């Protein structure tokens, strides 16, 4: 088996490690250690596991183990400080956290030739960002175009659900007329991002297109025109625009692909995508079906951190929405699965963000929750979900100004996101606590248009209208909310989650709107 990660190829049958075309010298014991970590990358490997596997259970000092680990890190360009590939979890063990593809050998048409290595396409989405064409005829623009590709590649690689081909591999196609299907075959990816840069009259025009390799279909295409002033600020701005545009498009394409697959062919990732789609609308039936699907995904892949996080989120939603038949059980399950997700991958920004929000809703440890949500956006500043969750965490913690800043960033990241109604609702709640009632109404109405079956915007509108003395509109919003949530009472809403913490004006508005106590 050949394992590919970034520019490295690790061949367990030939016992070879290559960086690009260069062979990397590695001792047999260090090779075995690296092989064991890669094969068991879905879990944390303990010190005892390594000793049993590599040293056949013989007594080994901590210093000897540390020396071999350092040698393994050095062979793949890692370090104890950086831990890009091999992560140390204090008092728990070690885990290989790099994105790995498994490659298969394809026989050459000429029996005498060496076999051609063709990477297998991973079960989860994979993308290559090809070098952008320089259409300006100006050699200096070559640096800008190459820098643009590097920035976009780095930004995309922060999404752990997305396998991104390293720049070195993508740039082997620089200056060549490419066939997208051939690129996809040689790099083992489902999607390719192409682009071009043209400079004229103090402006720069950048075009980009996202293509599905199997069909050649254009999933997304856009052009950006900007003033050529600060070149680095321009790179950052276009990177944000490209990444925030194609990220939801990739998800939609993956969901469509999962829906086309036969039930017997579904992978854990396919089941996760289907569950995610069911959970989007936050209905009782949708959440029940999402839980059923994500539980199947976890049976297929118990090390799937995102699936554990989604299961936790579904249980938490059931508690917060009063859908739970046994609220105490679902509350405990939400917290338990959150801990499972964090144990599996506490460096995944979306997992961290989800965990922070669930804890904020059901536990109420503000300091820890703020720390987790801050770390999530630091790990991936281009994640819509991380900024959305951070907004809710800060809202619940009683910092509405910071909450609004996070929600605004989320809207900027993904202006057409299917879950934008949750961002707008959170923004409305935060605006009420700042007595900006007119703005809260605008946010609530927009959220309502996005998802009329979601009760949050009705609560926002009932409270904001009541504070402004617009009693008829407040009662109308309250009636709409009770139609969606007939069992709603103010006391039950306060009891079922931490949403009511630091929501004095919200609750006061409920009472003015005539909602049942």
pLDDT tens-digit readout, 186-222: 888 888 998 888 877 778 888 889 898 888 888 888 8
**Would 90 be classed as within a structural domain?**
yes
Please answer whether residues 45 and 32 qualify as being in contact, where contact means their C-beta atoms are separated by less than 8 angstroms.
no
**Would 240 be classed as within a structural domain?**
yes
Whether residue 66 is found in the same domain as residue 150: no
pLDDT digits (tens, 9 = 90+) for 148-170: 888 888 888 888 778 888 777 78
CATH number at residue 496: 1.25.40.10
Q: Please determine, for residue 328, whether its predicted confidence score (pLDDT) is greater than 60.
A: yes
* Sign of the CA dihedral running 146, 149, 151, 153: negative
State how far the Cα of 3 lies from the Cα of 1, in Å rounded to an integer.
7
Q: What SS3 state is found at 402?
A: helix
pLDDT at 8: 84
φ, ψ at 225 (rounded to 5°): -125, 125
State how far the Cα of 258 lies from the Cα of 266, in Å rounded to an integer.
7
Whether residue 137 is found in the same domain as residue 83: no
**Would 348 be classed as within a structural domain?**
no
Beta strand 133-134 pairing with 191-200: parallel
Q: How confident is the model at residue 445 (pLDDT cuts 50, 70, 90)?
A: very high
**Would 439 be classed as within a structural domain?**
yes
pLDDT at 21: 65
Q: Among 71-85, 256-270, 299-313, name the one with the lowest average pLDDT.
A: 256-270
Q: Please determine, for residue 291, whether its predicted confidence score (pLDDT) is greater than 70.
A: yes
**Would 112 be classed as within a structural domain?**
no
Whether residue 187 is found in the same domain as residue 144: yes
Which residues, at least 6 apart from 481, have a Cβ–Cβ distance to it below 8 Å?
455, 458, 459, 462, 488, 515
Q: What residue has token string 């249980």?
A: 315
State how far the Cα of 452 lies from the Cα of 443, in Å rounded to an integer.
13
Beta strand 93-96 pairing with 86-89: antiparallel
Which residues, at least 6 apart from 288, have a Cβ–Cβ distance to it below 8 Å?
none
DSSP code, position 55: S
φ, ψ at 515 (rounded to 5°): -70, 145
Please answer whether residues 356 and 390 qualify as being in contact, where contact means their C-beta atoms are separated by less than 8 angstroms.
yes
* pTM of this structure: 0.71
% of the chain beyond a pLDDT of 90: 33
- Select from 260, 295, 311 the last residue of a domain: 260
Token duo for residue 54: 């590599």
Whether residue 130 is found in the same domain as residue 240: yes
How many structural domains is the chain composed of?
Answer: 3
CA neighbours closer than 13 Å in the CB half-sphere of residue 202: 2
Whether residue 63 is found in the same domain as residue 183: no
> Domain of 226?
126-260
Whether residue 151 is found in the same domain as residue 241: yes
CATH number at residue 202: 3.40.50.10610
pLDDT at 216: 85
Whether residue 165 is found in the same domain as residue 254: yes
The radius of gyration computed from the CA coordinates of the chain, to the nearest angstrom, equals 25
Taking Cα atoms as reference points, which of 75, 99, 97 lies closest to residue 85?
A: 97
Q: How confident is the model at residue 447 (pLDDT cuts 50, 70, 90)?
A: very high
pLDDT at 107: 37
What are the strands, taking DSSP E only, across 108-154? Answer: 116-119, 126-129, 133-134
Maximum separation of any 2 CA atoms in the chain, in Å: 86
DSSP code, position 85: S
Burial track 99-133 (b if 16+ CB lie within 10 A, e otherwise): bbbebeeeeeeeeeeeeeeebebbebbbbbbbbbe
- Select from 228, 260, 292 the last residue of a domain: 260
DSSP output for 316-347:
HHHHHTT--SSHHHHHHHHHHHHHHHHHH-TT
**Would 199 be classed as within a structural domain?**
yes
State how far the Cα of 305 lies from the Cα of 301, in Å rounded to an integer.
9
Q: How confident is the model at residue 429 (pLDDT cuts 50, 70, 90)?
A: very high
Q: How confident is the model at residue 123 (pLDDT cuts 50, 70, 90)?
A: low
CATH number at residue 89: 1.10.10.10
CA neighbours closer than 13 Å in the CB half-sphere of residue 253: 23
**Would 76 be classed as within a structural domain?**
yes
Whether residue 92 is found in the same domain as residue 13: yes
Q: How confident is the model at residue 115 (pLDDT cuts 50, 70, 90)?
A: very low
State how far the Cα of 237 lies from the Cα of 311, in Å rounded to an integer.
35
pLDDT digits (tens, 9 = 90+) for 34-62: 999 998 888 888 888 888 888 776 777 78
Whether residue 152 is found in the same domain as residue 194: yes
233 burial type by CB count under 10 A (0-12 exposed, 13-18 middle, 19+ buried): exposed
Mean per-residue pLDDT over the chain, rounded: 85
Rounded to 5°, the CA angle 120-277-364 comes to 110
SS (H, E, C) 422-438: HHHHHHHHHHHHCCCHH
Which residues, at least 6 apart from 121, have a Cβ–Cβ distance to it below 8 Å?
184, 188, 189, 190
DSSP code, position 198: E
- Select from 203, 235, 260 the last residue of a domain: 260
Whether residue 92 is found in the same domain as residue 147: no
Whether residue 176 is found in the same domain as residue 96: no
Rounded to 5°, the CA angle 23-24-30 comes to 140
pLDDT at 13: 76
Please answer whether residues 393 and 376 qualify as being in contact, where contact means their C-beta atoms are separated by less than 8 angstroms.
no
Taking Cα atoms as reference points, which of 157, 164, 170, 152 lies closest to residue 245?
A: 152
**Would 32 be classed as within a structural domain?**
yes
Which residues, at least 6 apart from 312, have a Cβ–Cβ distance to it below 8 Å?
333, 334, 335, 336, 337, 338, 340, 341, 354, 355, 358
pLDDT at 121: 64
State how far the Cα of 499 lies from the Cα of 357, in Å rounded to an integer.
11
Whether residue 40 is found in the same domain as residue 79: yes
Beta strand 133-134 pairing with 101-106: unpaired
């Amino acid at each position: 088996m050949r394992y590919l990660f970034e520019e490295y190829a690790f061949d367990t049958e030939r016992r070879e490690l290559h960086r690009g075309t260069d062979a990397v010298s590695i001792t047999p014991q260090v090779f075995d250690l690296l092989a064991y970590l890669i094969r068991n990358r879905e879990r944390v490997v303990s010190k005892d596991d390594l000793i049993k596997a590599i040293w056949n259970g013989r007594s080994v000092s901590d210093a000897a183990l540390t020396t071999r680990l350092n040698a393994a890190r050095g062979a793949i360009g890692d370090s104890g400080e950086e831990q890009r590939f091999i992560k140390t979890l204090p008092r728990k063990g070690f885990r290989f956290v790099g994105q790995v593809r498994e490659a298969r050998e394809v026989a050459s048409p000429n029996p005498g030739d060496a076999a051609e290595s063709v990477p297998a396409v991973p079960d989860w989405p994979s993308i290559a960002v090809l070098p952008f064409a320089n259409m300006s005829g100006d050699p200096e623009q070559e640096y800008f175009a190459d820098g643009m590709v590097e920035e976009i590649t780095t930004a995309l690689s922060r999404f752990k659900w997305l396998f991104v081909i390293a720049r070195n591999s993508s740039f082997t196609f620089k200056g060549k007329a490419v066939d997208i299907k051939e690129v996809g075959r040689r790099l083992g990816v489902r999607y390719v991002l192409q682009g071009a840069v043209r400079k004229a009259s103090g402006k720069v025009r950048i075009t980009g297109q996202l293509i599905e390799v199997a069909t050649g279909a254009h999933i997304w295409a856009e052009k950006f025109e900007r003033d050529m002033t600060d070149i680095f600020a321009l790179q950052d701005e276009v990177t944000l625009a490209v990444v925030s545009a194609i990220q939801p498009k990739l998800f939609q394409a993956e969901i469509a692909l999962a829906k086309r697959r036969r039930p017997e062919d579904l992978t854990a990732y396919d089941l996760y995508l289907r569950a995610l789609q069911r959970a989007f609308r936050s209905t009782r039936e949708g959440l029940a079906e999402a839980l059923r699907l994500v539980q199947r995904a976890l049976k297929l892949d118990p090390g799937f951190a995102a699936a554990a996080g989604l299961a936790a989120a579904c249980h938490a939603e059931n508690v917060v929405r009063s859908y739970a038949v046994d609220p105490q059980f679902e509350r405990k399950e939400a917290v338990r699965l959150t801990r499972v997700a964090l144990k599996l991958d506490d460096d995944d920004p979306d997992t961290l963000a989800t965990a922070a929000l669930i804890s904020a809703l059901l536990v109420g440890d503000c300091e820890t929750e703020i720390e987790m949500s801050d770390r999530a956006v630091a790990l991936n500043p281009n994640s819509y979900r991380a900024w959305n969750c951070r907004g809710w965490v800060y809202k619940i913690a009683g910092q509405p100004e910071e909450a609004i800043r996070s929600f605004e960033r989320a809207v900027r990241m993904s202006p057409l996101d299917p879950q934008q109604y949750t961002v707008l609702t959170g923004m409305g709640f935060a605006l009420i606590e700042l007595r900006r009632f007119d703005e809260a109404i605008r946010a609530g109405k927009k959220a309502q248009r996005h998802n009329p079956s979601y009760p949050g915007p009705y609560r926002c509108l009932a409270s904001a209208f009541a504070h402004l003395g617009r009693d008829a509109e407040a009662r109308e919003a309250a009636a709409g909310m009770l139609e969606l949530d007939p069992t709603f009472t103010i006391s039950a809403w306060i009891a079922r989650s931490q949403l009511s913490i630091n929501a004095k004006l919200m609750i006061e508005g409920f009472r003015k709107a005539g909602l049942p106590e």
